[in-house]
Amino acid sequence: MPKLTINGKEVEVPEGTNLIEAARAAGAEVPHYCYHPALSIAGQCRLCMVDIDKVPRPQIACNTRATEGMVVHTETERVKETRRSMMEFHLINHPLDCPVCDQAGECFLQIYYMKHGLYDPRMTDEKVHKPKAVPLGPHVILDAERCILCSRCVRYCDEVTHTGELGIFHRGDHSEIGLFPGKTLENKYSGNVNDICPVGALTDRDFRFQVRVWYLDTAKSVCNGCARGCNIEVHTNKHRTHHNQGRRVARLKPRFNADVNKWWICDAGRYGFKWMDDKSRLLQPLHRVGAQAAEVSWDRALPELVTALQRARPEEIGVLASPQMSNEDLWVLRRLAEQLGVKNVDWRVPPRVPGDEDNFLIRADKNPNGRGAEILGITPGGITPGQGGLDAAGMLRAAREKRLKLLWLFHHDLWAAAWPEADVLAALEGAENVVFQGTNANEASARAHLVLPSAAYVEREGTFTNFEGRVQRFRTALAPLGEAWPDWMILSFVGKALGFRDPVFAAERSEQVFDALASTVPAFAGMSYRGIADSGAMVKP
Amino acid sequence: MGENKTSERIFTRNFHLADSHRLTRYIETGGYTALAKALGMEPAAITEEVKKANLRGLGGAAFATGVKWGFIPKGSTAPKYLVINADEGEPGTFKDRYLMERDPHALIEGMLIAARAIGSRVGFVYIRGEYVKPWRILDGAVKEAYAAGFLGKNIQGSSFNFDIVLHRGAGAYICGEETGLLSSLEGKKGWPKIKPPFPAIKGAFGHPTIVNNVETIMAVPHIINRGAAWFAGLGTKSQGGTRLYSVSGHVVKPGVVEAPVSVTLRRLIYDHCGGIRGGRKLKAVVPGGSSAAILTPDEIDIQMDVDGPKSKGSMIGSAGIIVMDETVSIPEALMVVARFYAHESCGQCTPCRESTGWIYKMSRRIVEGKGRKEDLDTILDVAKRGAGTTICAFYDGAVGPYISYIEKFRGEFEDLIRNSARA
């Protein structure tokens, strides 16, 4: 652990730390383009120069390791002048088309020019012209004139995805990023190159020309696309709703978590948010009698459900919960089932097409909270151990055999399940009452007698437990669409209306539900909602 | 001046023989005797001898060869590579071509001795792609050497094994830069590598590697045969031996000249090469390949060792001497040189990639009669800002001409710009 002095401040850093990271530890920012902590050192942009005592010339901080007793200065006149020079070199052939560039507002050419440049431009000759608006793959588009050739994207495809689609072609100031012959940039993680591109060279085809980044709001969240639970930021457009074709969610971006996803997310997660603003969203409770469906208020919908629950005996009720639900939702559901004495509780629905998986981030289980459902005992017999109820398939069979008065479905698209569609249909037709609670309409909701609209995870807060047992918080990015409510809230109202006294039914915030479950479930012992750090908290084995 | 007036010829001693490239002739004239001697020496003793000989790299950087060999980690069990830089791309330089055509076995013998010194079993010769004839001749010599047991396993009955692989380049100047060459040899784009690590620690294919110029390695058999003191005595205090000077441009007899490194630039031009052609006046001379700063006629009384040109702010470089008489337009010469560096910049480091092109555009504009008063100071400022900021020495090589051409011939540039403004 070498100790060194940076700008007069002494810091101790792990062996092998470079001067960019060491300076960060000392509270100093060394501007850089080509350096990225996930990638090999390129040393190409030459922007990260710092002065080191007893070294005659400024050195690049990215390729200089901190050593014991080193004295580093990041803000000498010489360093500042060098940065100005490097900024000028980076910009002489740049098209300066910020007004039409998606990167504007989060472009490190802009940011560093304002911070470290501010020179008077001297370049008056014709700039070098290169290809513009070149699609590299389904998600990435290249403007070679804006590219500063930092090679981050090339190294990413070589070193992180090991797919090697990109290279730098030609020489000198005609160098440009491009695809190797016969390749397209369509690996499962291609969108990350848009994030690590420090300028407007690689931009996101989905986000392109949708909305200026300074109109976006940001919320920390967790991807619900698979059991990994990659940390993300949800970027929403609430103020310029005429942009972005009415989409409130403008884009998802990865959020660094050293233990889960590092800097990355997969393309399926990144672009898998269209359902949130889709026309299929359920906005209002629906009551269906025969072929007639009518939108109703919650004041009418909830009593319908309560009555149905009261009329059926516990063994005539089947609850098919979802691993899309948060820990809080599942906890309130478990409490409710316990109070009702319902043992037919499950969440596992085998998918017809098994999920893809790799040895990087993508998990075969496409749900964010299967592990949470497991730990919280949402299993037949789990709620009342020793007295097994019906599992999912058992419930459907019972419904087909007209043994269920109430089948309460959460979120699942049963038409994507591994079961024969005819069996599923017969089950929905066989149950006396089908309640569908979820975010989006599907074949099941179209046949349900009562449809209850759930808020999407970006429209509420809560926690998911990923496959490793890491409990992670997601925050509210948007207000729920229409009259959708968080699942736990709907469940609490039902519990209260049934006259149950458990304080969890009186909870007003996710936090209260989580803290209640943490004080009861041993795996969560010692956790508190507010105490869960950005990096998450591990459940007890 | 202390000039060594010896007419001793080392590198070119067999150049007059029609079959100097053949193994039989090489052996007849004492070839491969240094190898026999070196096989009986401790590797460290070979390195020590080369150090004492004051042999410096003759490719351009003039680094002490024995010291370089000493950087190979002691006791490392990793494969070690000897790589010969036969890319010879520096404009104004054409000595290695003659050496490989006329005396290829001296290169092979030098490689064998160097390989023994550094513990290498495989050597590569990275040869310029345009050098078809030298490649054919060297390839023939390598085959002869294998057939005669000078290459391969158990060389000359010893336990020493060594193979040589010839690798042809594809025509990029940057592939003559030590680490750009290694990248290219590895099958990658010829981008210089970031240092540290240096090649002696982590070079070709990630293993300890020594890169030496053709001529440098060809001096080694002579040093082993005739001793370090003899070689050192041929030169000056800072550098031993003779070397080849590639003289081109407006001299009466251009060509490759072998002379002790103590020879003066004036003697090379006026004695060895017969002076300026057509009785014209000398205007300027580049002493060490295009990357060396230009010298004026009053700066040519310097010894052509590593220190002489340095004393005038230039460098000996590859000893490619480009002589320009009074008919040459220095602004045009700068434009030509600037075009070369803009074309050959590998594009890896921002300052070099961007400013070589920019400076070429400015220099071209000046020649085209569209120069502006501020252009000269802009070129000087841009060159100085970029100098010393890049991964390799390419840009510093470009800065040599940028700055010296303008600073030493500023009046000529200003006249051109002034006359353009008037026209």
pLDDT tens figures, A3-46: 999 999 999 999 999 999 999 999 999 999 999 999 999 999 99
Identity of the amino acid at A247: R
Kindly state the tokens that stand for B81: 């590579």
Residues of B in contact with A122 (CB under 8 A): 374, 378
Report the residue from B348, B355, B374 with minimal CB separation from A44.
B348
**Given this structure, which CATH class describes domain A286-538?**
alpha beta
Mean pLDDT within A508-529: 97
Evaluate if residue A246 carries a pLDDT over 90.
no
pLDDT at position B421, please? 78
Query: What is the DSSP track for A23-37?
Result: HHHTT-----SS--T
Residue ranges covered by each domain of chain A: 3-90, 100-277, 286-538
Upstream peptide bond of B197 is cis (omega within 30 degrees of 0): yes
pLDDT at position B1, please? 42
How many angstroms separate the CA atoms of A403 and A497, rounded?
Answer: 26
What CATH code is assigned to B330-422? 1.20.1440.230
Put simply, the answer to whether A86 touches B390 (Cβ < 8 Å) is no
Q: Kindly state whether B385 is in contact with chain A, defined as any CB-CB distance less than 8 angstroms.
A: yes
User: Strand A166-169 and strand A216-222: pairing?
Assistant: unpaired
Residues of A in contact with B362 (CB under 8 A): 125
- Per-residue pLDDT of A409-467, as tens digits, reads 999 999 999 999 999 999 999 999 999 999 999 999 999 999 999 999 999 999 999 99
Task: State which fold the A100-277 domain adopts.
Answer: Alpha-Beta Plaits (3.30.70)
pLDDT at position B4, please? 60
Put simply, the answer to whether B390 touches A89 (Cβ < 8 Å) is no
Report the residue from B343, B386, B390 with minimal CB separation from A172.
B343
pLDDT at position A240, please? 82
How many angstroms separate the CA atoms of A151 and A166, rounded?
Answer: 9
| Cα–Cα–Cα angle for A205, A206, A211, rounded to 5 degrees | 105
| Cα–Cα–Cα angle for A460, A466, A471, rounded to 5 degrees | 65
Average pLDDT, chain A: 96
pLDDT at position A383, please? 58
Contact indicator for A406, A318 with CB cutoff of 8 Å:
yes
Mean pLDDT within A255-269: 98
Q: How far is B388 from chain A (nearest CA, A)?
A: 8
Evaluate if residue A384 carries a pLDDT over 60.
no
**Given this structure, which CATH class describes domain A3-90?**
alpha beta
pLDDT at position A388, please? 77
Query: Which residue, B61, B62, B80, is CA-closest to B71?
Result: B80
Residues of A in contact with B347 (CB under 8 A): 149, 168, 170-175
Report the residue from B354, B386, B388 with minimal CB separation from A173.
B354
Numbered residues of chain A with Cβ closer than 8 Å to any chain B Cβ: 41-47, 49, 57-58, 63, 82, 85-86, 88-90, 92-93, 122-123, 125-126, 128, 148-149, 167-168, 170-175
CA distance between the termini of chain A: 33
What CATH code is assigned to B242-325? 3.10.20.600
- What percent of chain A stands above pLDDT 90? 95
Evaluate if residue A385 carries a pLDDT over 90.
no
Handedness of CA A332, A335, A341, A346 (dihedral sign): positive
Q: Kindly state whether B343 is in contact with chain A, defined as any CB-CB distance less than 8 angstroms.
A: yes
Report the residue from B347, B348, B358 with minimal CB separation from A123.
B358
Put simply, the answer to whether B346 touches A171 (Cβ < 8 Å) is yes
pLDDT by 10s per residue, chain B, length 423: 455 666 789 999 999 999 999 999 999 999 999 999 999 999 999 999 999 999 999 999 999 999 999 999 998 899 999 999 999 999 999 999 999 999 999 999 999 999 999 999 999 999 999 999 999 999 999 999 999 999 999 999 999 999 999 999 998 999 999 999 999 999 999 999 999 999 999 999 999 999 999 999 999 999 999 999 999 999 999 999 999 999 999 999 999 999 999 999 999 999 999 999 999 999 999 999 999 999 999 999 999 999 999 999 999 999 999 999 999 999 999 999 999 999 999 999 999 999 999 999 999 999 999 999 999 999 999 999 999 999 999 999 999 999 999 999 999 999 999 998 776
**Could you tell me the CATH superfamily of domain B23-234?**
NADH-ubiquinone oxidoreductase 51kDa subunit (3.40.50.11540)
ipTM > 0.90 for the complex: yes
Mean pLDDT within A255-263: 98
How many angstroms separate the CA atoms of A2 and A64, rounded?
Answer: 13
Residue ranges covered by each domain of chain B: 23-234, 242-325, 330-422
Residues of B in contact with A93 (CB under 8 A): 354, 357
Residues of B in contact with A86 (CB under 8 A): 350-351, 389
pTM of the model: 0.95
C-alpha to C-alpha distances, A122 to A22, A91, A134, A501, B334, nearest whole angstrom: 35, 11, 30, 76, 20
CA distance between the termini of chain B: 49
- Per-residue pLDDT of A54-86, as tens digits, reads 999 999 999 999 999 999 999 999 999 999 999
Put simply, the answer to whether A167 touches B189 (Cβ < 8 Å) is yes
Query: Which residue, A214, A156, A151, A212, is CA-closest to A185?
Result: A156
Coil, strand or helix at B308: coil
| Cα–Cα–Cα angle for B27, B32, B38, rounded to 5 degrees | 160
